[in-house]
Amino acid sequence: MKEKGHLIQAVEEGGIAEEMGIEPGDRLLEINGETVEDIFDYQYMIEEEYVEVLIAKPSGEEWLLEIDKDYEEDLGVTFDNGLMDDYRSCTNKCIFCFIDQMPKGMRETLYFKDDDSRLSFLQGNYVTLTNMSEKDVDRIIKYHLSPINISFQTTNPELRCRMLHNRFAGESLKKVDRFYEAGIQMNGQIVLCKGFNDGEELERSIRDLTKYLPHLQSVSVVPVGLSRFREGLEPLEPFTREDARRVLEQIHRWQEKLYPEYGLHFVHASDEWYILAGEELPREESYDGYLQLENGVGMIRLMLEEFEDALARLEEPEALENRILKGTYSSVTGQIAYPYIRRMADRLMERFPEVKIQVFPIRNDFFGERITVTGLLTGQDIIAQLKGRDLGEILYLPENILRSGERVLLDDITVEDLAGALQVKTDIVKSSGYDFVDAFIRKL
């Protein structure tokens, strides 16, 4: 049987909780006589200057603590579950879902489909609204939680039901009206599937979504990712260069129309569209402050701008003589980012001829060649394609190929496994232009 309350994992030294005798292993039962459903209830209830907190000790003893504190001051506790509730799984069967395109036999966590609106605020996840109850909507409005990230796909209710394989998917769009009326900030996403929500349907969706400006700050349009593991799934075709150019024409036309009125470009194409179309990336100001970085919108432009800024700030080569890591180094990247990483490497070598940087674009044999992003590279592909090569002193691995906070790749190969297999020292580089430059300059 599930124990009541929320398990306290850690107590901040010198904080209110420690002063009140709260310890790790205790459970939070109530605040001001009300049960706490999740982290949002907790943060809202704990704000007041006077609160009554009911704590259960491991012995079963219950303490009712009366606490006077500053407004919005926290108790100084960390809970065993950051959400303070079970994660809600997705009830849809979207035709574009990448989790359905994963091979069997990978770690269990990779197959969990989340569609929990609370993760939208905590982690920036995009939610379809189909898993959101009216109570959830009421709480978002009550607590004025912003921004909420919404996976629209289409504003055509019937098409949305078909694409999400959920008969309530069209009806759930009405929740956006309530968020708009309450002034909740939103961001949107459209995963474009050829022959489904592109062309006239994309035109309709953009037009419909503009009515939520300015509270709906941005909408990204990203191409569906197609792995080689699609047996039994809805047949989907990859986009061609001409398709990409048509998508960009639509998006740019809407940007030119909306920017003069709202000061926002609003609808944005992910980087893949520009690369597929063979067109230059937009200038930095076109991204409205990079609202959609996690969807790959402006990620490469930001990296290039950071790199140029970092390069401009460097001292003259003579002044850095003893700090430059002279020698040969290697770096891996996905095929989509390769031309830009190569460009940065070349610029750095022009500035510092003593440094040689090899950049290897890794073909994604694991998921299939249509998957070109760096974040989905596996250890086995990197090993297979670099085995026997002279990689120099250090092989630099981009941080986004690793499990969050760990040194493990998507296929459970560790950084240490990879270094051993390739017989080279490895280091991790964050996905920024500043970090790329810093990787080759010894810290003082």
Tokens of 162: 């078909």
Domain 99-296 is of which CATH architecture? Alpha-Beta Horseshoe (3.80)
Residues 112, 89 contacting (CB under 8 angstroms): yes
The DSSP 8-state label assigned to residue 125 in this structure reads -
Taking alpha carbons only, the member of 364, 344, 348 closest to residue 356 is: 348
Taking alpha carbons only, the member of 79, 91, 90 closest to residue 41 is: 79
Do the strands 50-56 and 62-68 form a parallel or antiparallel pair, or are they unpaired? antiparallel
**CA-to-CA distance for 316 and 313, rounded, in angstroms?**
9
Reported as type and span, the H/E element at residue 356 is: strand 355-362
Is 304-438 assigned to CATH 1.10.3470? Answer: no
Residues 92, 116 contacting (CB under 8 angstroms): no
Helix (H, G, I), strand (E, B) or coil at 279: coil
Taking alpha carbons only, the member of 182, 117, 112, 185 closest to residue 151 is: 117
Taking alpha carbons only, the member of 424, 367, 369, 370 closest to residue 395 is: 424
Q: How far is CA 318 from CA 29, 327, 346, 439, in A?
A: 64, 17, 19, 18
Dihedrals φ, ψ of 166, to 5°? -145, 120
* Cis check: omega of the bond before 214, within 30 degrees of 0: yes
**pLDDT at site 119:** 60
DSSP 303-352: HHHHHHHHHHHSPPTTTTTTTB--EEEEEEEETTTHHHHHHHHHHHHHH-
Dihedrals φ, ψ of 245, to 5°? -65, -35
For residue 269, how far is the Cα from the chain centroid?
16
Q: How far is CA 303 from CA 307, 309, 394, 441, in A?
A: 6, 10, 21, 18
Tokens of 57: 């000790």
**CA-to-CA distance for 208 and 266, rounded, in angstroms?**
13
- Tell me the CATH class for 6-79: mainly beta
Residues 120, 148 contacting (CB under 8 angstroms): yes
**pLDDT at site 166:** 94
If phi > 0 it is left, if psi is from -120 to 50 it is alpha, else beta; for residue 404 that is beta
Taking 3-state DSSP, the helix, strand and coil percentages for the chain, each rounded to the nearest 5, stand at: 35, 20, 45
Taking alpha carbons only, the member of 337, 339, 331 closest to residue 376 is: 337
**pLDDT at site 389:** 96
**pLDDT at site 146:** 85
Domain map (residue ranges) of the chain: 6-79, 99-296, 304-438
Residues 317, 352 contacting (CB under 8 angstroms): yes
The per-residue pLDDT string of the chain (444 residues; one tens digit each, 9 = 90 and over) reads 467 889 999 999 999 999 999 999 999 999 999 888 888 788 888 888 999 999 999 999 999 999 998 888 889 999 887 776 676 667 788 999 888 888 887 776 665 666 655 665 556 688 899 988 898 899 889 888 889 999 999 999 999 999 999 999 999 999 999 999 999 999 999 999 999 999 999 999 999 999 999 999 999 999 999 999 988 889 999 999 999 999 999 999 999 999 999 999 999 999 999 999 999 999 999 999 999 998 999 999 999 999 999 999 887 777 787 888 899 999 999 999 999 999 999 999 999 999 999 999 999 999 999 999 999 999 999 999 999 999 999 999 999 999 878 899 989 999 999 999 999 999 999 989 999 999 998 765
Taking alpha carbons only, the member of 334, 96, 118, 131 closest to residue 222 is: 96
